[in-house]
Structure 1
Amino acid sequence: MKLFSCFSNCFSSAPDTAIDRGGLEAEEENDQNFTVFSYSELKAATHGFSASNKIGEGAFGSVYKGLLGNGTVVAVKMLSVELESMRGEREFVSEIITLSNLKHENLVTLKGCCVDGANRFLVYNYMENNSLAQILLGGEQNRIKLGWEARRAISLGVARGLAYLHEEVEPHIVHRDIKASNILLDQNLIPKVSDFGLSRILRDNVTHISTHVAGTLGYLAPEYAISGRLTRKTDVYSFGVLLLEIISGQTVVNYDSEHGERYLVQKAWEAFRTNSILQLVDPIVGMNYPEEEAVRFVKVGLLCVQETAKLRPEMSRAVRMLTNDIDIEGVQISQPGLVDDLMNIKLGQKTTFPSISSKASSMESSRSPLSSYS
């Protein structure tokens, strides 16, 4: 079986993956869509992993644009494996097994992998419009002027992808690192949730698991950051922050001389309390947009980031709120939770923060194109 031939020798060092090795037995039907590449193939496709082909860089390695021998354009992620902690190895195995089981329009497609000595490679479909962080929050040269309809479609696509992970897939999957740089966009701006290296499963009606804290400051649900208690509502919180970013065009936190560091959830909550939600909408959208829908989207974002996890909606319910299949007029919204200090985060020997920066204002806007593949 192709999946076994690619990484069967990696399991001993990667026990804490999203899908355990038993899940491989169900993968025979997907093998025809999964390719085990040779190192020479990927080296040729990327011109020797040349700097000119490099399109992104993240916590676990670099991403290169490649052209396969059959003419297919791909993104090749080269993972860096830390020998002491085995970071990179675990993410490699988790990514492969998780994505081999998942098929959804709003999830990234994994085409194959390569194991060559200490080298680990993951091969994905190439995303023409990079990541949401780049086109929405990046530098002027990378930004795209997204209108309301595009923002609406991207928001709904991400929400549906998460609803699929949380409620349709068995066992359920918690992504654990939902953020703008992990949302890729194809040529039609269809969003694809990516980077499943940190994902975890919830088996046999288990509602939560305890794990070391990993993720991105600003997107971390407070109860998870403080206790390490991971639930699907952890992803819901991160989605709420992302939704507010999409509507406002603002990063999760920015700095100004008057107020210092200000988190987006704080600004959204203040806009809600002062009945000035429309002031939060990105001016790039222009004047011709459905104001009632914009208000609803911001309110759904705030419902998702409520401090009390049990008050946050499930993702399928959030989708129905966004599409107005569930009326949220008059729904009570409580104050958001926020982790604004690294000292509040549960620390331990296994704690990792692959994307956390103490200056989160530059966290997303400074990313390289397609860094969310990492």
Structure 2
Amino acid sequence: MGVELEDCRQRCYADCSCLAYAAADIRGGGDGTGCVIWKDVILDLRFVARGQNLYLRLSKSEFDDQKRFPTVPVLAPVASAVTILLVVFLIWRRRNRRIIGVIPQNPAMAVPSVSLAIIKGVTKNFSESNMIGQGGFSVVYKGQLPEGRTIAVKRLKQSALTTKGKKDFAREVEVMAGLRHSSLVRLLAYCNEGKERILIYEYMKNTSLNVHIFGNANLRASLNWRRRLALIHGIAHGVAYLHGGSGDNVIHRDLKPGNILLDDDWRPKIADFGTAKLFAVDQPGPEQTIVVSPGYAAPEYVRQGRMTLKCDVHSFGVILLETLSGQRNGDTQSLISHAWGLWEQNMIVELLNTAMVPLPESEPELLSELKRCIQIGLLCVQETPCDRPAMSAVVAMLASPTLQIDPPRTAAVIDSEGAVPSNSSHGLETNLLRATTTDLT
């Protein structure tokens, strides 16, 4: 905050990855003091009513003999500023693209297309030795770019190239083109050539959250309690971004540990947007295929196909409880049922014993934070969607240990067919008497 604007300019000049800079303290409008620098991608811009100068670093040839940065005032209307930034960013991407042969198929798309020949080259013609995983619809290969960067190449199986499969592929490219967040996996490029449908993502060294919370003892031990809490915070921020922080309302529809990837620094990245939907809040969406991952889908979605942002909140709550307990929820919703029973008996800390990580009894503050986190998870899996907090509220609760939160109402416990198990001990009337009426959202 103590850096003057000229010093900020020099710091940006000295850093090859610097894309833009601006004053941090803008109370006076225009060029104040302090320094904000953007690297790699230009994220987290906001509208300033009185105007603010943003200095963008472009190729010198764009401005003939001018050596100084062009000044782009960010003023109303917002659309004009966004258009300027988009054009500038696309120019920068085109001049600095690293994958040889990548050409934007659509000038308006922020994600470029790449030729099949290039992809075959970096994956050794889809060699089995480069295969790092596969599912029912795709195979993932590790690729090595000439510059040394490692990428993940997701190739759809030919059996998946149905009409729906092609629509899912197009949807993932469309949705990911407009999303940029540190907790979302980044789509670098795609290929739509002949019968091939391929997505190129940044490579995640530590694979998925699913592997580490349900794996062997060594894999589970790699996630200590503080790391697990950090993962939960990161996932919450990513989902909150989807639910409005991106400017659109995006519902993922298939949040689960297998779709949470971990990078080299154990930061979570939400992946697999083939089922994601853009929609207007409180407005019914178009006819859709129901996407149900047993154990993670919200009850109203399983029963009536009702899709809202609160469906993702429920899925996040299940992920949170699984991450802290090391137990799967599964078709029978056994984890939610177990967690709710422990909550009613005031024994919720027992849920942590199954994670195969020693309880932090010597750190009472950490133990208290873990118990609070479980309570937040139960709030997210409540039966009624309107009782579940919005993801923005979840982020606030996780970030503020002193923020008072309500006890959860009845947790949503349903089987794979959308029915309440006959052995369920959940009593709605009893829990309504125990709940407070404060609305977190």
> If the length of structure 2 is used for normalisation, what is the TM-score?
0.66
Bigger Cα displacement from structure 2, 143-152 vs 174-183: 143-152
Offset, 1:139: 4.2
Q: Tell me how far apart the structure 1 counterparts of residues 158 and 140 of structure 2 sit (CA, whole Å).
A: 15
Partner of 1:284: 356
Sort the Cα spacing of 1:148 and 1:114 in 2 relative to 1 into closer, same or farther, 3 A.
Answer: same
Q: Tell me how far apart the structure 1 counterparts of residues 387 and 412 of structure 2 sit (CA, whole Å).
A: 12
Aligned-pair identity in percent equals: 36
Q: Residues 289-345 of structure 1, C-alpha deviation per residue, up to 9 Å, x if partnerless?
A: 52211111111000000000000000010111112356345x131111133133659
Sort the Cα spacing of 1:199 and 1:181 in 2 relative to 1 into closer, same or farther, 3 A.
Answer: same
Work out which of the residue numbers 311, 319, 323 in structure 1 matches 2:395. Answer: 319
Sort the Cα spacing of 1:209 and 1:327 in 2 relative to 1 into closer, same or farther, 3 A.
Answer: same
Q: Tell me how far apart the structure 2 counterparts of residues 233 and 332 of structure 1 sit (CA, whole Å).
A: 18
Is 1:185 aligned to residue 272 of structure 2? no
Partner of 1:268: 339
Q: Tell me how far apart the structure 2 counterparts of residues 93 and 283 of structure 1 sit (CA, whole Å).
A: 38
Is 1:334 aligned to residue 398 of structure 2? no
> If the length of structure 1 is used for normalisation, what is the TM-score?
0.78
Offset, 1:206: 3.8
Partner of 1:157: 234
Sort the Cα spacing of 1:309 and 1:187 in 2 relative to 1 into closer, same or farther, 3 A.
Answer: same
Partner of 2:186: 109
Q: Residues 183-240 of structure 1, C-alpha deviation per residue, up to 9 Å, x if partnerless?
A: 001000000011111000123x544436331031100100011111100000000000
Contact 2:213 2:220 in 1 (8 A): yes
Pairwise mapping of residues 167-316 of structure 1 onto structure 2 (< 5 A)? 167-203=244-280, 205-209=281-285, 211-253=288-330, 263-281=334-352, 282-288=354-360, 289=363, 290-316=366-392
Q: Tell me how far apart the structure 2 counterparts of residues 328 and 145 of structure 1 sit (CA, whole Å).
A: 32
Pairwise mapping of residues 21-100 of structure 1 onto structure 2 (< 5 A)? 31=90, 32=93, 34-80=111-157, 82=159, 85-100=162-177
Offset, 1:30: 5.5
Contact 1:145 1:284 in 2 (8 A): no
Q: Tell me how far apart the structure 1 counterparts of residues 221 and 236 of structure 2 sit (CA, whole Å).
A: 21
Sort the Cα spacing of 1:262 and 1:326 in 2 relative to 1 into closer, same or farther, 3 A.
Answer: same
RMSD: 2.5
Q: Tell me how far apart the structure 2 counterparts of residues 60 and 275 of structure 1 sit (CA, whole Å).
A: 43
Bigger Cα displacement from structure 2, 209-218 vs 152-161: 209-218
Contact 1:81 1:88 in 2 (8 A): no
Contact 1:225 1:344 in 2 (8 A): no
5+ long unaligned stretches in structure 1? 1-23, 255-260, 346-374
5+ long unaligned stretches in structure 2? 1-82, 98-110, 421-441
Contact 1:146 1:284 in 2 (8 A): no
Amino acid at match of 1:336: A
Amino acid at match of 1:96: V
Q: Secondary structure at the match of 2:393?
A: helix
Amino acid at match of 1:264: L
- Which protein has greater RCO, CA pairs closer than 8 Å, 6+ apart? 1
Q: Tell me how far apart the structure 2 counterparts of residues 310 and 170 of structure 1 sit (CA, whole Å).
A: 22
Contact 1:240 1:305 in 2 (8 A): yes
Q: Tell me how far apart the structure 2 counterparts of residues 44 and 140 of structure 1 sit (CA, whole Å).
A: 38
Q: Tell me how far apart the structure 1 counterparts of residues 88 and 148 of structure 2 sit (CA, whole Å).
A: 25
Contact 1:81 1:89 in 2 (8 A): no
Q: Secondary structure at the match of 1:209?
A: coil
Offset, 1:169: 2.1
Q: Tell me how far apart the structure 2 counterparts of residues 292 and 171 of structure 1 sit (CA, whole Å).
A: 35
Equivalent residues, number? 314
Q: Tell me how far apart the structure 2 counterparts of residues 120 and 265 of structure 1 sit (CA, whole Å).
A: 38
Q: Residues 15-58 of structure 1, C-alpha deviation per residue, up to 9 Å, x if partnerless?
A: xxxxxxxxx9x965664264422212211211221222111112
Amino acid at match of 2:323: I
Contact 1:209 1:231 in 2 (8 A): no
Partner of 1:134: 211
Sort the Cα spacing of 1:29 and 1:124 in 2 relative to 1 into closer, same or farther, 3 A.
Answer: farther
Q: Tell me how far apart the structure 1 counterparts of residues 377 and 289 of structure 2 sit (CA, whole Å).
A: 26
Contact 1:60 1:87 in 2 (8 A): no
Q: Tell me how far apart the structure 1 counterparts of residues 327 and 160 of structure 2 sit (CA, whole Å).
A: 38
Sort the Cα spacing of 1:43 and 1:85 in 2 relative to 1 into closer, same or farther, 3 A.
Answer: closer
Bigger Cα displacement from structure 2, 164-173 vs 115-124: 164-173
